[in-house]
């Protein structure tokens, strides 16, 4: 990360690290698209309670994510800094996935939901933060960070596509939501130890020398981190984009079924189309970021996303699979770009802070990054479900009036569009570009030469 002529990690090794995206995709996709309506409808918790519980759980990450990030920064062993965290997260995720994705058909209450979701969140947070901090350590430069996160995201999206085929096949053969989500859970449980082994075996993770001046965790250090003006912009990006994505994900199945009249199989198939469009679009956005600046690519992507929701509203007047597919392709094309580029921007801030203070805070910064996304996601889930249930009067699984369905559509279109527009104004003047980052890298290299001399 700080070598003036660093060697880039080979593509096979980057892909080995990217395999961790498969189980993490199994956590992210079902949580947003399937598990929320599943627990609200089939398991009977209701929209308002489910949305509130998701919001409360995600708000715990305000403390959990940066705390774990801090300990990732401070921890070192002969096996490296990230590997032990990856390995420790695997049994936690396997156990919690079993209970979250394969719940009993009767008797599930709020306590059951909260207990196992807390364990699932803790395990996934450990794996995500350790992996992202790992990237910050091994990526060579400004554009190489984008390369790492692009390959990780492409692996994630391809994993999502694989997972989305499962409910399509099961629904086409008469299987219900319990069977669809249960199959996803087994994929997660089986893939966790395999992908962790591949990443830990083939990706270098050199141990760090222990810092004799390192102190225990304190909120003062967290306040110092969020006082970093560049990091604050990236965190705001994570919150706002997380809100836009989560509103879309949490309401998608309701909109697909009630507004466009799609079956379960059609709704799952359309998600495959959506993520295929995302896979096609991601290299385009990365090329734009390489030709211009990362924050400029983010601005173009969020404006495209905001406009796609107006298209959703227009095609909803026709209904059916194909009108919905047209809007989904355009929305999907820009879907992953802001978050992928945002993670790369976070790694840039890590290097900027290293040059300024001499301290590598990759774990803490990615912990705050993950927490920011989850805060946005939790607020958006609670807000979307509360508005849909209390304002629009829409009820999951009920025979809703045309007014309630129209209210659902308006909330689905307006909320994400607003979040993306605010994101544009938040990042359009972001100063930490390629030229500034090159100067930062040169400063660090010069300091290292002085130290080694």
Q: Give the CATH number of the domain where residue 393 resides.
A: 1.20.1250.20
Q: Once rounded to an integer, what is the mean pLDDT over residues 113-132?
A: 91
* 2 has a pLDDT exceeding 50: no
Q: Is residue 23 part of a domain?
A: yes
Check residue 210 and give its pLDDT.
54
Q: How confident is the model at residue 108 (pLDDT cuts 50, 70, 90)?
A: confident
Residue 225: both structure tokens together: 């981190």
Determine the Cα–Cα distance for residues 20 and 452; give it in Å rounded to an integer. Answer: 36
Element (H, E) at 2: none
Q: Do 203 and 13 form a contact (C-beta atoms < 8 A)?
A: yes
- pLDDT more than 70, % of the chain: 92
**184 in any annotated domain:** yes
Question: What counts of helices (H) and strands (E) characterise the chain?
Answer: 18, 0
Whether the predicted pLDDT of 260 surpasses 90 = yes
pLDDT in tens, 410-428: 999 999 999 999 999 999 9
Is 331 a member of any domain? yes
Its pTM stands at 0.80
- Mean pLDDT over residues 327-348, rounded? 93
Tell me the two tokens of residue 2.
């700080």
Most confident among 3-12, 24-33, 429-438 (mean pLDDT): 429-438
Residue 118 belongs to some domain of the structure = yes
- Residue range(s) defining the domain that contains residue 190: 12-206+219-452
| Residue 368: per-residue pLDDT | 87
Does 1 map to a domain?
no
Question: In angstroms, rounded to a whole number, what is the distance separating the alpha carbons of residues 409 and 403?
Answer: 10
Is residue 173 scored above 80 in pLDDT?
yes
**Domain total in the chain:** 1
Confirm whether 4 is domain-assigned: no
């Amino acid at each position: 990360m700080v070598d003036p002529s660093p060697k880039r990690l080979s593509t096979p090794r980057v892909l080995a690290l990217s395999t961790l995206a498969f189980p993490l995709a199994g956590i992210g996709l079902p949580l947003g698209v399937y598990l929320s309506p599943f627990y609200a409808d089939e398991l009977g918790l209701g929209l308002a309670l489910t949305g509130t519980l998701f919001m409360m759980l995600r708000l715990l990450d305000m403390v959990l994510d940066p705390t774990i990030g801090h300990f990732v920064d401070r921890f070192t062993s002969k096996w490296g800094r990230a590997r032990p965290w990856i390995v420790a997260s695997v049994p936690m995720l396997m156990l919690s996935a079993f209970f979250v994705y394969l719940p009993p058909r009767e008797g599930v209450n709020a306590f059951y939901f909260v207990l196992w979701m807390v364990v699932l969140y803790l395990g996934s947070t450990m794996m995500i933060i350790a992996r992202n901090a790992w990237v910050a350590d091994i990526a060579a430069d400004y554009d190489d960070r984008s390369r790492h996160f692009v390959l990780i995201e492409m692996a994630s999206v391809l994993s999502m596509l694989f997972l989305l085929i499962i409910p399509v096949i099961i629904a086409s053969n008469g299987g219900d939501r319990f069977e669809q989500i249960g199959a996803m859970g087994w994929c997660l449980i089986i893939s966790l130890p395999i992908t962790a082994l591949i990443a830990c075996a083939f990706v270098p993770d050199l141990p760090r020398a222990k810092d004799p001046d390192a102190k225990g965790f304190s909120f003062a250090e967290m306040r110092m981190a969020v006082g970093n003006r560049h990091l604050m912009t990236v965190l705001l990006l994570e919150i706002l984009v997380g809100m836009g994505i989560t509103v879309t994900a949490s309401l998608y199945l309701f909109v697909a079924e009630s507004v466009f009249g799609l079956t379960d199989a059609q709704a799952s198939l359309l998600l495959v189309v959506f993520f295929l469009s995302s896979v096609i679009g991601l290299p385009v956005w990365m090329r734009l970021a390489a030709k211009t600046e990362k924050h400029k690519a983010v601005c173009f992507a969020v404006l495209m996303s905001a406009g796609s929701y107006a298209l959703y509203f227009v095609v909803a007047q026709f209904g059916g699979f194909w009108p919905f597919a047209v809007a989904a392709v355009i929305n999907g094309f820009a879907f992953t770009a802001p978050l992928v580029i945002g993670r790369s921007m976070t790694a840039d801030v890590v290097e900027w802070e290293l040059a300024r203070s001499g301290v590598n805070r990759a774990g803490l910064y990615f912990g705050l990054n993950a927490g920011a996304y989850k805060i946005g996601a939790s607020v958006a889930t609670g807000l979307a479900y509360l508005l849909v249930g209390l304002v629009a009067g829409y009820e999951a699984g009920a025979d809703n009036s045309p007014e309630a369905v129209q209210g659902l559509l308006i909330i689905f279109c307006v909320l994400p569009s607003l979040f993306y527009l605010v994101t544009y104004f938040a990042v359009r003047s972001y100063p930490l570009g390629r030229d500034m980052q090159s100067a930062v890298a040169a400063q660090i290299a010069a300091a290292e030469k002085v130290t080694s001399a």
